[in-house]
A and B are shown apart, each in its own frame.
Chain A
């Protein structure tokens, strides 16, 4: 099987640890459900990601070099 996470078009998906998550929620003054969502079944997710985790996606951007997006893993 091809591991799509290694594909050059798939951006970096990393699971945030509790400390980082707290920082993100603090920065935007939000609760977890206010984040954009990503399905657990999304093949770009790292294997260890579980429902309720928050993923940090670092991807190339048309307007700036890299853009960071956080997404909440849902079922």
Chain B
């Protein structure tokens, strides 16, 4: 692209730009508001002057001689007929106007004050603090001065009318001064004495004749005369006069500000003279920054910036003509204001108080600041985040036959995304086959690049022909095929497991397919979730993705220190059914269960029943375990699981054994063996579980939650008892005899006691219900195995839903002192305060339903608020921590190499490599030592000798050799 060699940036400075610099870098002066002439050629010294760069392909840039694409464009300039204020600096201009003398332009501070602010600035710089506070304080102090400490000139207040007008507020002699003096000389109510002009003349020391002239309005008193009269008569003869400061005045004012005074205001005078904030020259952006578009009808449509520049040049021209023609001051000022407006909106078209410049259609123009600002602006929209090629997005759906490393990619996506194939002798055949298949048929190709660099599109028509021409050195953009590596992502990408690499499996239909065991890391489900896929475009990226990002490499979560991928839901129910009661299977059944695993031979049978061999569930499960695995832990179901030498001897395999989020067996295999072994294990467990659950069959219905009438009677009785207890409590409370609990009021105490009683009622209802469910109840199986749901869910379905709450209290809102109009005021009973005594299966009555909805709504609001709050919190935390890195010396440092932790995590271990059991030490050194010794020495005696556990027989003399030989074996 560019022929320039890349240059290293050593320093960036920010400052104002000298108008002279604008002229120097300008490729041409722009004087004509028109763009193209009648023949469609750009007009010289017009806005589309060819010296400003080229946008049409084939043309040559008149400044640098390059063609479009390689020429970046060149700035031009407009000589403004009159100086104009730069909106971006309106605040700084105001500050300078207020802080400097209107006459001598010096900063309105004594030398000692200057020195003080100078030092404060220096300190702020040293401490890396904002300089704004100091410079603001300096201006504030300067503004307090009524007179310039250097030249004595009285100072006036400067008012700023947004965006670009400045006024000096002066006190001048009122036009009705004779009337005011006359009325002040009239006798007032207190002393009743009229002051004669002679008396006034005596008092003020003004000549009597002059006083008469003043009174008649023939003579305007000078300032000291005016002040004398004012003090003598106690009258105010002035009025405010707004003296508008023209940009040219301001420019002259700023030009005279001495360099050393600017230092105190935090401005570097070498780089930024304040008068440069008043524009006399306007740079014209190169045409490449404002390209015109040719519409379908051949008409040219200009960029918004060009439109704005046209306006500026037109007014500029008119201004000059009018001034030369000696137009009245009023007209000149109007044009000046108009020019100011156009220059202002050229830079920022969203200034409050200024109507935005509009397109002919009424749409506000997108000018310079609008291009940069906001979410779609240059920074957030084009630099920090951009749209990418080779990406796809569609709905996801499950496919348990895929490996967890794979992703099913729809054929139509696979034939749109391509991988570049560098053709050589070895893959020539393949490349030709891809090209000959064309772009439509699946393993085809979309583009080829010949050795000379020319890119050709493969079409249905030319594919056969092109395939024959393919040879070594060509590049073929072939379709995605099975085994290619792609990156797969689901938003929100909250942790690193939200973006993982998968191997492609091309499939029919329109959805991405994934193995259900990768749902937890992505937090995905199949209720309409969509996910993104990115096809990698170079060998380094593909290699890194395979080694670092593949799903199996991400099996252990660094956040949790344990596996995040594993069996979920029905998989867990399946392994539970297989191992909990340890059922027996005949040969056909056993082989059927293991069909989808790599095991195709059954182990020795566990015994015979009715003359036929049988295998138990635990034996079948053991087939999936590594042969030398030893493990002991407690399962979710509560029994003890023992695995010895890869055989499950006892216990239930459930969520705590194979589940995602810390299944012991998965975690151990991934850490002790390898991630690959872990992946094989999870794949096989999930297929075995699916087979198992299909073998037994698993469903749930309303009847599974019903309890016998006598149990229902017991539940009702328990609830009735609780109701009575509550009534009792209310009675005691109303009689004023309730003893408050320590630190609580009586009201709080009765609430707490009622809550407690009702809580107990729900629990006992649950217990009664539970007693009537056998182990084979599907809801119990799911809760017991940790597959889904809890016993609490079950008691709510069968026993009693229980107390509904809003803000942690029983429901007490609605009407005055009652929740619904159905209740008496002040009714504290259970049903009046949101206790739901029915179960979900029985159904809720209308009042209960309403209370339940209140509680449910609070839950929904809470989650909505929590996600947004915690999301922002996490974002800030991540931004604060991104630059921390664990170094090779074990320390954690930030990018400036300051140490944050002297040892990573204080123990220098990675959570994904050490035991996930918090009760035992992260690294068991003894166990490691034993392992090393075991593999190092085949022979126990040698090992013991190495460890110094057996003492060598002593041999002090050769005469004792017989004895020595007898002691040792050889």
Interface residues of A, Cβ cutoff 8 Å to B:
28-30, 33-36, 61-64, 67-70
Chain B neighbourhood of A28, CB < 8 A: 889, 891, 899, 902
Assess the B907–A70 pair: CB atoms within 8 A: no
A61 to B900, CA, bound (A): 16
The 3 closest A-B pairs by CB, nearest first: A64-B907, A67-B906, A63-B907
Bound CA–CA A70/B897 (angstroms): 15
Is B826 positioned at the interface, with any CB of A under 8 Å from its CB?
no
A67–B890 Cα distance when bound, in Å, is 13
Q: A28-B889, A63-B922, A70-B902 are in contact. Are A34 and B907 (CB under 8 A)?
A: no
**Given A28-B889, A28-B891, also A34-B906 (CB < 8 A):** no
Q: Which residues of B contact A34 (CB under 8 A)?
A: 897-899
B900–A63 CB distance below 8 A: no
Are B905 and A36 neighbours in the complex by a CB distance under 8 Å?
A: no
Which B residues lie within 8 Å of A70 (CB)?
Answer: 902
Does A35 lie within 8 Å of B899, measured CB to CB?
yes
Distance between A48 CB and nearest chain B CB, rounded to angstroms? 23
Query: Is chain B's interface secondary structure helix, strand, loop, or mixed overall?
Result: loop
Shortest CB–CB separation between residue A21 and chain B, in angstroms? Answer: 14
24 pairs from A and B in contact (CB 8 Å cutoff): A28-B889, A28-B899, A28-B902, A29-B889, A30-B897, A30-B899, A33-B898, A34-B899, A35-B898, A35-B899, A36-B898, A36-B899, A61-B906, A61-B907, A62-B906, A63-B905, A63-B907, A63-B909, A64-B906, A64-B907, A64-B922, A67-B902, A67-B903, A67-B906
Interface centre among A28, A33, A36 (most CB of B within 10 A): A28
**Chain B, Cβ-Cβ closest to A35:** B899
Closest partner residue, chain B, to A24 (CB atom): B902
Chain B's closest residue to A63 (CB) is B907
Bound together, the chains give a CA A45 to CA B488 distance in angstroms of 52
Is the pair A69, B902 in contact by a Cβ cutoff of 8 Å?
yes
Tell me the bound Cα distance from A67 to B898 in angstroms: 18
Instruction: Report how many A-B pairs have Cβ atoms within 8 Å.
Output: 34
What is the 8 Å Cβ interface bit string for chain B, positions 427-441, against chain A (1 contact, 0 not)? 000000000000000
- What separation, in Å, do the CA atoms of A33 and B899 have in the docked complex? 10
CB closest residue in chain A, given B903: A67
Q: Given A28-B889, A63-B907, A67-B906, are A36 and B900 neighbors across the interface (CB < 8 Å)?
A: yes
A57–chain B nearest beta-carbon distance, Å: 10
Query: Taking the nearest CB of chain A, how far is it from the CB of B259, in angstroms?
Result: 34
A33 to B897 Cα, complex, angstroms: 10
Complex Cα spacing A69 to B903, Å: 9
Q: A71 to chain B: closest CB distance in Å?
A: 10
Q: Please, which residues of chain A bring their CB within 8 A of the CB of B889?
A: 28-29
* Chain A residue with the shortest CB-CB distance to B894: A34
Q: A34-B898, A36-B898, A67-B902 are in contact. List 8 more A-B contacts (CB 8 A).
A: A28-B899, A28-B902, A34-B899, A63-B905, A63-B909, A63-B922, A64-B906, A70-B902
Minimum CB–CB distance for A5 against chain B, Å: 22
Which A-chain residue is minimally distant from B897 (CB atoms)? A34
B922 contact set on A, CB distance < 8 A: 63-64
CA distance A63 to B899 in the complex (A): 19
B906 contacts which of A29, A36, A63 (Cβ < 8 Å)? Answer: A63
Collect the chain A residues with CB atoms within 8 Å of residue B891's CB.
Answer: 28
- Measured CA separation A36–B897 after assembly (Å): 11
Query: Closest Cβ of chain B: how far from A54's Cβ, in Å?
Result: 12
Residues of B within 8 A of A64 (CB): 906-907, 922
B905 CB contacts on chain A under 8 angstroms: 63
**A35 to B897 alpha-carbon distance, docked (Å):** 9
Within 8 A of A (CB), among B869-917: 889, 891, 897-900, 902-903, 905-907, 909
* Complex-state Cα separation, A63 to B905, whole angstroms: 7
Residues of chain B within 8 A of A33, CB atoms compared: 898
User: Which residues 524-543 of B sit at the A interface, judged by CB distance below 8 A?
Assistant: none
Q: Which residues of B contact A62 (CB under 8 A)?
A: 906
A29 to B902 Cα, complex, angstroms: 12
B119 to chain A, nearest CB (A): 18
- The distance from the CB of B917 to the nearest CB of chain A, in whole angstroms, is 13
Q: Which residues of A contact B897 (CB under 8 A)?
A: 30, 34
- The answer for the CA separation of A62 and B903 in the assembled complex, in Å, is 13
> A61 contacts which chain B residues (CB < 8 A)?
906-907
Q: Could you tell me the distance between the alpha carbons of A70 and B899 in the complex, rounded to whole angstroms?
A: 10
Residues in B whose Cβ lies below 8 Å from that of A35: 898-899
B897 to chain A, nearest CB (A): 6
Chain B residue contacts of A69, Cβ below 8 A: 902
Contacts of B909 in A (CB 8 A): 63
Contacts of A67 in B (CB 8 A): 902-903, 906-907
Alpha-carbon distance between A30 and B897 when the two chains are bound, in angstroms:
8
B896: nearest residue on chain A (CB-CB)? A34
Contacts of B900 in A (CB 8 A): 36
